[in-house]
């Protein structure tokens, strides 16, 4: 990694930085020439670009002064060293959700940076390894360049009942295949990686708890997105080809979209200075758990996306002339109630964050899981209510081409008219936005990714179970039922973990 | 209408019958040459074709002997004259939902026929009009030909706070514009008409309660699908163009799909023998209410579609190697519980049906509304749970072209492998089916149409409110609270309506 | 059992029949002199008495002609030999729920009779035992006397991880301790037996599937309620002592209540002619499953209780002057929607019932479980909504004694006034009824018994899992995904069980 | 008000302070001699006493140094001047919920103090009135004495469609009936006042927005609990008399309970120095809204009560021998998830609090309402799940007297045995605790008070509607749909209110 020369400041800089990289990207059976300009990929690039623009428009919200370089950098690159830092991440996430109506794809990198910062610190402390120092050097360089970092975590996993080393095919989890004095070579594949193509660097990390025999799978390192040996196969989304049809209406949200790809590593080299874990398998779970703790609470972004959908539902009700009905207003209230619950539990996790040994702050695990668990339910209900308010036209509207075809334009303008003072085209566009967010391209991010990103619902339930301190609660009940007398000291001791934070002053 | 010559018996007959009609159908800004063979429209034709095939394979379930012609006809054309007839409709609907995984589009016609049969009977009784006789003649002819009947009910409505005659543009509801001694001419548009293009005849009906000044809107009549003056503008569905991409995997359910179009009438002629209401505005609400009563309970079909989705979720869990987890099994139970509730409340409405004056049987209104109201909620939850079981690949899977591209095929085969003994392609296809049903083309029918078809949720709540007999229930409570003594006679009288049927023996 | 002399016809006969029996009943640490007249027990006797009165007032609904005696008997004693018989049980149950607002306690006996009829038939067929004949003789005698039958099924169970014969204390399940040529002696205890004291006879039955070593637990027989060796210990209910305070207001529903007691058998004798199973352990599960199948669908009664609570909520909203608010009406609609779902799924189970080999009809198992599973959820939500409509006074109202105390009466009359034209006392009584049904005495039946009676929620989920035919559904999905071609024959075969009934014509 | 002489420090001091006051308290038709020692009232006194004990055991959590006296006082008397102060209130509330399993009744006074502090400040600023100064003097005195303050807010309201001055009976809202130079006389009644009898002073406040003609109703003042002219009529709770039966088992939670009474004012005098509003009707809504803003978020206490119920459910599952079943664990997770949502949204409201002009901090209104709205739903579901885990014995258990009666004790001990190593009595007590919290005395506080305290559900929906900023959200959607371009400045301006706080840095 050579010293940086250019620092990305504007979305324009960012667009430029993506050009001319020799990426091997497959889409619809073909290699893509210039991925960042492909009409189906472009909206996901735009969403990341907005993270730069926001930092310029609202620097307090979306940028910080790097403690490593002393320069202003994007907040997505910052290591949180206070609860307030964690809260500000959430505020920025909600704003970006509002501005893009989609996944803006930078949280994985942010959360991976934060998790690695403290995990490398604790690894070094235990093993006198050089990982934290290396990582800080890499981080500093990323700050200098103000780069976008993607994560590469979710292995394809193969047979879920077997550990990595037990798989029939050892490549079903990314692992080290070869070592030299300069570094290591890795092979394997990471599935559904959000925002990989439009990043500058990828952080490769293990996807789950590892055992002693999985040592070669305990590899963390950084690789440039264009590293030799990487193949990207682009993932399809519902209604993805609408962005290739040429218009701006049927896409629903023509500017912004998410991105997910399969990232295949074939003997990809990681030089020693960019290796941040190598064989310390017992730290894999710490890394994964800290990452998911940050990341589950990062789903506060969906409250920003929810704001857009609530706004869209309110618009369409008005355009239909139905906004005065009491049940319509009541449904908007319910949508808001659910949406704010995501926000409220998320920022509570951040506010109740605590310092790790490295000084980096980690959100409260219980509340982070509670937040994410709501995210696996409430966007679906908000979406259902939005469809209720929209009415059936949302899924039976003729195509944009028919709307623009002179032979049918007047007919459609006449018959798709809702409230007299509202242009038919506006109503048309609003239907398409709701379709986009509840069935189409951005439903992928608002719904299915909300379900599985940062761990599926059952993963949160397992974590909630770990933190729910039943023994402490059982004792409370026994005291009130007259079975035991209260043992205050024991209670304080048992409080430990979650209740320790709840009752911390 | 000339005497019939050919009777449709097989799906082959049916495909033939659709060819060569000069329909004016717009799609993607162009006139469609032969709609029934257009790759995007074909799946909806196939779904109707399956109604013919089923009648041959399982005649007891899907056909009856016509009391008018003495010949075996499709059950969709039959007038129910017993509760058992109503129940058998539901059983056939569930089976077709299972066989197609989509909306098979013939229920509107079936339910409209049944509603018109009794409504014309009661109109004639009151006004000595000839509608019932005319209708029976038309019905008989349809039986002879074993035709597919579509409905044309939902007007585009314009400003929802105004009655038809109050609209700025009188055409926002279909109405009579001209009369001759031979018949009437109508103008207007019907939005999101399910299964219109693949029908043979359309029944034009008013969409809501009408007032005295709306007399010209109180028109019911039959027109052939290819009647001069009709323009169809085809509705887009989520992921609709996948069926035009050439493969069979990415479409998810390559064979079957729904169809909805905007149907525009410009001075379309209806001859006198095919007019079944003309100006009897006060019968519009009876017609609409009976139609929705039949149709809300017809949504039992979604329990058949739900069977497919539950099966798909069970398959994918197994293919992922996760089917032994207790939470997976528990979610399948929950999906089933919800799905059977739709079926159970629907058939209860049919079983508790009752005879109208014409002899035609009408389902129980309360239970029909309860059934449909669940349909506006439970498919969404079943769908959410299916996405939970599927995992994220469902929305990040590469394209079929990439799967088939020799340069990426082996990589994808290797890395998309789940449980060892299951072909990767099967897993790929199962993900796509779930995508199809929860986000894609058939999500339109399973979710959004479930929400709005036969009336949006609020419409059911209004009907439930009408039938909930609060005064009767208030009296029950007063008696038990010691405020009143029981007045059995009054209670029996008050039972009326719904409780009259509940306690009928 | 001597030939009957008196047949019970009226509630008066019934009250008489309970007097003077030498029952050993403990309550509040004392033996109760005449249980049926104890103020806390009386309301449960009244509820059963209403089953006699209803049979006189509405004979078609609540009585039948016995095929065994040719005389008119209460429907609770009837063996269902058609789907319509099953449906009529449900209609009667709803009516009695409406008339009493509580559990009327005769369903256990009815459902046990029906289950035993077919199970003894099949036992005899297999083993040439005389159980069916004996049972019919006993049934005939019960018809002659028109008696009330209670069940005794739920053993206290001890350590739930152990089979009956494995328990440390063999008495934790009722079992045979001694045999003579005349009969057997049993010991053990049955917990929370609904309607035992106010019955005439008890049917003792095993509570679950048994194994070969549990042979002595495989005992079914009839004993008179006053049989020597039985001790009853009366169960407490929430707010039970209000019925002993003397007034009629604070009890909420002064006339009617449920009853549950622990029934302890110490060497109770059952003579041979009254033994209907003895050692045929493998039939225990058939008996239990059939009983629960009938009984789960019998919870349709709760829709009648729900009618009362909906009425009470509507009354109190009106009395508070808040009945015009749109959210109030909407909540009443929701309560009704949920309540009718219980009814609808219940009667669907009955309508879809089928004949056993004995000719007795059994409800559809899947739908019976779906019905009961809703009963474990919806009454809680209906109850929550009723409390919402009631307002806080429901739980902060002063006592009846304060209302009647001359020093506070005028103050309370003045300040508890709601809508001007409604007497304060009526409002007071309505609050108390809602308290009774959502927190008090009848909440026990409406909520907690709804949860656990006829099996706790998990028991229904296990049964739903057994009947959900995943293999059949998986095949449906594979066909539509293009993985398999349809194999109609196999499908028909696989349909089996539940889908066999769904698609039966 | 004379200068204080004694400061309450311990629960013992507190018990002493309540004795010998000449209160006019009616209960069961009689005047109560020494209310604080009445067995039915005592548990509610104990709950308040625990607030003193906690302050001694955990001073950081439950006490502060008064800025007015410089002495350590109970946190319930403190005016919050930072977000952290608000958060610490929540933490203390959760702890007290855990320690008492009931409503501890001091939040009304705390929240009223805080709301009055800022409202009197703003009144004075507008009208140069002396209210704030008077209030601070009163506050200081309360700090000196470390007293318990009760609120008196909820008028009985009469006909809810009429304003106070429009009521047939002017006393249906508390109002000034007479004035002298020393002060005013008030008449009226406050319903279901939590923790009035066991307080030292009551703050009388209006209950809702007032108009110009309601000037005499715009009265705020302090009165001692024993003020002449006050009559208390004690409210009944479910199972209240169990505390008078002598034992300690059947009560469920023998030590702690809530308290609600009707408080009737008949010409009660308030001297000028204790009047904090008199006629400034337009400030009534500010006072009420601020009070409810504090108070809705104070329902975080229910997460502490929920901890007890979750613990009780976990205990009983273990005692039944069923704690290893996966569905049991899953239900405990769900209960926890819901419970922590209450906590998370509540503390989020506190963390996102903001300064009023007086320096007192107010919680975020939107999140406070979201928190309370969950409180009207989730405790009911947690309660339902607790009943599911408990099993039916929870409502059919024999009485404590039967358990202790030598004639039945051994039988019950034998047959109520669950898991062998757990004493039967412990299991008995655990059932009773769950009954207490889900149906009995403390269900009143955990359920019905959760529903209606601090405003019924609809009141929260109205507030959520007020803060949901639909115009801002509609604009977001229009920008993404391509209807409008973004107008950042306007957005910032519009952010206002809630989004102003969300995006505040």
* A301 a catalytic residue: yes
**What is the distance in angstroms between the Cα of D324 and the nearest Cα belonging to chain B?**
13
Q: What is the ipTM of this complex?
A: 0.96
Residue at C118 is within a domain: no
Catalytic residue among A51, A107, A217, A371: A107
Residues B495 and B426 in one domain: no
Using the beta-carbon criterion (under 8 Å), do D416 and C168 form an inter-chain contact? no
pLDDT in tens, C136-155: 999 999 999 999 999 999 99
Model pLDDT, residue B470: 95
How much is the pTM?
0.97
Task: Tell me how many degrees the CA angle A324-A325-A328 measures, rounded to the nearest 5.
Answer: 100
Size of interface C-D (CB pairs under 8 A): 246
Query: Is the pLDDT confidence value at D472 over 60?
Result: yes
Residue at D215 is within a domain: no
B contact chains, 3+ CB pairs < 8 A: A, C, D
Residue C346 DSSP one-character state = H
* A194 a catalytic residue: yes
Token pair recorded at residue D346: 């509540």
pLDDT in tens, chain C (505 residues): 444 578 999 999 999 999 999 999 999 999 999 999 999 999 999 999 999 999 999 999 999 999 999 999 999 999 999 999 999 999 999 999 999 999 999 999 999 999 999 999 999 999 999 999 999 999 999 999 999 999 999 999 988 888 999 999 999 999 999 999 999 999 999 999 999 999 999 999 999 999 999 999 999 999 999 999 999 999 999 999 999 999 999 999 999 999 999 999 999 999 999 999 999 999 999 999 999 999 999 999 999 999 999 999 999 999 999 899 999 999 999 999 999 999 999 999 999 999 999 999 999 999 999 999 999 999 999 999 999 999 999 999 999 999 999 999 999 999 999 888 999 999 999 999 999 999 999 999 999 999 999 999 999 999 999 999 999 999 999 999 999 987 777 777 666 689 999 999 8
Average pLDDT, chain B: 96
* D449 a catalytic residue: yes
Residue A281 DSSP one-character state = G
Query: Taking a C-beta distance cutoff of 8 angstroms, is the pair D183, D223 a contact?
Result: no
List of residues 6+ apart from B463 with CB closer than 8 A: B292, B365, B366, B369
* Disruptive mutation site among B415, B463, B465 for chain A (greatest number of A CBs within 10 Å): B415
pLDDT in tens, A375-423: 999 999 999 999 999 999 999 999 999 999 999 999 999 999 988 899 9
Tallying the residues shown for chain C, one arrives at: 505
* Disruptive mutation site among A324, A325, A326, A334 for chain C (greatest number of C CBs within 10 Å): A326
Mean pLDDT of D59-66: 97
Residues A439 and A489 in one domain: no
**What is the distance in angstroms between the Cα of C110 and the nearest Cα belonging to chain D?**
21
Residues A487 and A404 in one domain: no
Catalytic residue among D50, D400, D435, D449: D449
Of B161, B376, B444, the CB nearest to A395: B444
Residues D352 and D445 in one domain: yes
**What is the distance in angstroms between the Cα of C471 and the nearest Cα belonging to chain B?**
8
Distance CA A376, CA B381 (A): 11
pLDDT in tens, B450-500: 999 999 999 999 999 999 999 999 999 999 999 998 777 777 766 668 999
Query: Taking a C-beta distance cutoff of 8 angstroms, is the pair B182, B271 a contact?
Result: yes
Angle between helices B378-390 and B424-438 (to 10 degrees): 150
Residues A319 and A338 in one domain: yes
Using the beta-carbon criterion (under 8 Å), do C312 and B432 form an inter-chain contact? no
pLDDT in tens, C286-345: 999 999 999 999 999 999 999 999 999 999 999 999 899 999 999 999 999 999 999 999
Q: The domain that contains C301 carries what CATH number? A: 1.20.140.10
Residue at C452 is within a domain: yes
List residues of B with catalytic annotation: 103, 107, 194, 260, 295, 299, 301, 449
Of D308, D426, D483, the CB nearest to A483: D426
Q: Tell me if C241 is assigned to a ligand binding site.
A: no
Set of chain A residues whose Cβ sits within 8 Å of the Cβ of D333: 461, 464-465, 468
Lowest mean pLDDT among A380-384, A499-503, D118-122, D236-240: A499-503
Model pLDDT, residue C6: 85
Set of chain D residues whose Cβ sits within 8 Å of the Cβ of C192: 392-393, 395-396
Closest CA to D127 of D282, D2, D5, D314: D282
Handedness of CA D217, D223, D229, D230 (dihedral sign): positive
Q: Phi/psi at C71 (nearest 5 deg)?
A: -105, 160
Set of chain C residues whose Cβ sits within 8 Å of the Cβ of B386: none
| C169: nearest CA partner in chain D | D414
A contact chains, 3+ CB pairs < 8 A: B, C, D
| Type and span of the H or E element at A424 | helix A424-438
Residues D303 and D359 in one domain: yes
Model pLDDT, residue D489: 73
Average pLDDT, chain D: 96
Using the beta-carbon criterion (under 8 Å), do B367 and C478 form an inter-chain contact? no
Model pLDDT, residue A434: 98
**What is the distance in angstroms between the Cα of B439 and the nearest Cα belonging to chain A?**
5
Query: Taking a C-beta distance cutoff of 8 angstroms, is the pair A439, A397 a contact?
Result: no
Residue at B438 is within a domain: yes
Mean pLDDT of D227-236: 98
* C299 a catalytic residue: yes
- Beta bridge mates, C181: none
pLDDT in tens, A139-167: 999 999 999 999 999 999 988 888 999 99
| B325: nearest CA partner in chain D | D326
* Count of the separate structural domains present in chain D: 2
Residue at B409 is within a domain: yes
Q: For residue D227, give Cα distances in angstroms to D23, D37, D137.
A: 8, 20, 20
* C301 a catalytic residue: yes
Residues A454 and A354 in one domain: yes
* % pLDDT > 90, chain C: 93
- The domain of B336 spans 296-465
Residue at A454 is within a domain: yes
Residues B417 and B452 in one domain: yes
pLDDT category of residue D1 using cuts at 50, 70 and 90: very low
Distance CA D485, CA D79 (A): 45
* Disruptive mutation site among D324, D326, D329 for chain B (greatest number of B CBs within 10 Å): D326
Catalytic residue among C295, C318, C343, C446: C295
List of residues 6+ apart from C423 with CB closer than 8 A: none
Distance CA B275, CA B266 (A): 17
pLDDT in tens, B46-63: 999 999 999 999 999 999
Burial of B334 (0-12, 13-18, 19+ CB in 10 A): middle
- How does strand D219-224 pair with strand D201-204? antiparallel
Residues B306 and B434 in one domain: yes
Residue at D204 is within a domain: no
Task: Tell me how many degrees the CA angle B317-B318-B323 measures, rounded to the nearest 5.
Answer: 70
Residue at C354 is within a domain: yes
Distance CA C135, CA A216 (A): 72
* Disruptive mutation site among B325, B326, B333, B334 for chain D (greatest number of D CBs within 10 Å): B326
Catalytic residue among D295, D373, D403, D435: D295
Mean pLDDT of B172-181: 97
Widest pairwise Cα distance in chain C: 84
Closest CA to C314 of C430, C393, C221: C430
Residues B345 and B361 in one domain: yes
C contact chains, 3+ CB pairs < 8 A: A, B, D
Model pLDDT, residue A495: 65
Angle between helices C488-502 and C470-481 (to 10 degrees): 130
Residues B323 and B453 in one domain: yes
Of D91, D309, D482, the CB nearest to A429: D482
Q: For residue A314, give Cα distances in angstroms to A311, A333, A343, C186.
A: 5, 11, 20, 69
Model pLDDT, residue D76: 98
- Beta bridge mates, A235: B398
Using the beta-carbon criterion (under 8 Å), do A100 and D480 form an inter-chain contact? yes
In B392-427, which positions are buried (b, 16+ CB within 10 angstroms) versus exposed (e)?
A: bbbbbbbbbbbbebeebeebbebbbbbbeebebbbb
**What is the distance in angstroms between the Cα of A487 and the nearest Cα belonging to chain B?**
37
Model pLDDT, residue B495: 66
**What is the distance in angstroms between the Cα of A330 and the nearest Cα belonging to chain C?**
9
Using the beta-carbon criterion (under 8 Å), do D29 and C396 form an inter-chain contact? no
Residues C319 and C447 in one domain: yes
pLDDT in tens, B330-380: 999 999 999 999 999 999 999 999 999 999 999 999 999 999 999 999 999
Range list of H helices, D439-487: 441-443, 449-452, 457-467, 470-480
Catalytic residue among D239, D293, D301, D371: D301
How many helices and strands, by DSSP H and E, does chain C display?
A: 19, 14
pLDDT in tens, chain A (505 residues): 444 578 999 999 999 999 999 999 999 999 999 999 999 999 999 999 999 999 999 999 999 999 999 999 999 999 999 999 999 999 999 999 999 999 999 999 999 999 999 999 999 999 999 999 999 999 999 999 999 999 999 999 988 888 999 998 999 999 999 999 999 999 999 999 999 999 999 999 999 999 999 999 999 999 999 999 999 999 999 999 999 999 999 999 999 999 999 999 999 999 999 999 999 999 999 999 999 999 999 999 999 999 999 999 999 999 999 899 999 999 999 999 999 999 999 999 999 999 999 999 999 999 999 999 999 999 999 999 999 999 999 999 999 999 999 999 999 999 999 888 999 999 999 999 999 999 999 999 999 999 999 999 999 999 999 999 999 999 999 999 999 987 777 776 666 689 999 999 8
Catalytic residue among A14, A52, A103, A345: A103
Set of chain B residues whose Cβ sits within 8 Å of the Cβ of D330: 326-327, 330
């Amino acid at each position: 990694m050579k010293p940086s020369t250019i620092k990305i400041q504007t979305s324009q800089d960012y667009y430029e930085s993506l050009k001319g990289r020799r990426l091997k990207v497959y889409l619809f059976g073909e290699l893509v020439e210039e991925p960042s300009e492909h009409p189906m990929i472009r909206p996901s690039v735009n969403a990341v670009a907005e993270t730069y623009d926001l930092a310029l428009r609202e620097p307090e919200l979306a940028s910080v002064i790097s403690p490593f370089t002393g320069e202003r950098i994007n907040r997505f690159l910052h290591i949180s060293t206070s609860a307030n830092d964690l809260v500000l991440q959430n505020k920025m996430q909600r704003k970006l959700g509002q501005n893009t109506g989609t996944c803006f794809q930078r949280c994985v990198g942010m959360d991976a940076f934060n998790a690695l910062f403290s995990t490398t610190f604790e690894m070094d402390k235990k093993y006198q390894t050089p990982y934290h120092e290396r990582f800080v050097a890499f981080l500093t360089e990323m700050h200098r360049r103000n780069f976008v970092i993607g994560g590469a975590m979710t292995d394809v996993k193969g047979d879920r009942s077997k550990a990595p080393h037990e798989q029939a095919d050892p490549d079903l989890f990314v692992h080290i295949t070869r070592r030299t004095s300069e570094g290591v070579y890795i092979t394997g594949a990471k599935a559904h990686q959000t925002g990989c193509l439009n990043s500058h660097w990828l952080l490769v990390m293990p996807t789950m708890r590892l055992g002693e025999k999985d040592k070669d799978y305990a590899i963390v390192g950084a690789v440039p997105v264009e590293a030799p040996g990487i193949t990207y196969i682009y993932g399809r989304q519902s209604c993805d080809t609408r962005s290739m049809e040429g218009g701006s209406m049927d896409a629903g949200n023509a500017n912004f979209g998410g991105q997910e790809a399969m990232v295949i590593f074939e003997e990809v080299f990681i030089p020693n200075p960019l290796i941040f874990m190598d064989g310390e398998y017992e730290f894999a779970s710490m890394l994964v758990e800290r990452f998911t703790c940050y990341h589950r609470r990062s789903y506060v972004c969906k409250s920003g996306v929810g704001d857009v959908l609530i706004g869209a539902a309110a618009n369409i009700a008005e355009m239909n002339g139905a906004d005065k009905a009491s049940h319509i207003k009541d449904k908007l209230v319910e949508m808001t109630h659910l949406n704010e619950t995501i926000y409220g539990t998320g920022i509570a996790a951040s506010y109740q964050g605590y310092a790790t040994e490295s000084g980096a702050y980690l959100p409260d695990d219980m509340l982070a899981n509670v937040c994410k668990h709501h995210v696996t339910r409430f966007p679906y209900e908000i979406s259902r209510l939005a469809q209720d308010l929209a009415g059936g036209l949302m899924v039976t509207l003729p195509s944009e081409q028919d709307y623009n075809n002179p032979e049918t334009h007047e007919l459609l303008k006449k018959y798709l008219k809702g409230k007299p003072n509202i242009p038919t085209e506006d109503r048309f566009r609003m239907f398409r936005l709701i379709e986009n967010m509840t069935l189409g391209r951005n439903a992928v991010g608002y719904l299915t990714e909300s379900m599985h990103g940062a761990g599926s619902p059952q993963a949160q339930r397992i974590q909630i179970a770990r933190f729910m301190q039943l023994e402490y609660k059982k004792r409370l009940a026994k005291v009130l039922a007259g079975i035991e007398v209260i043992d205050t000291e024991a209670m304080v001791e048992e409080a430990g973990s979650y209740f320790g934070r709840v009752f911390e002053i």
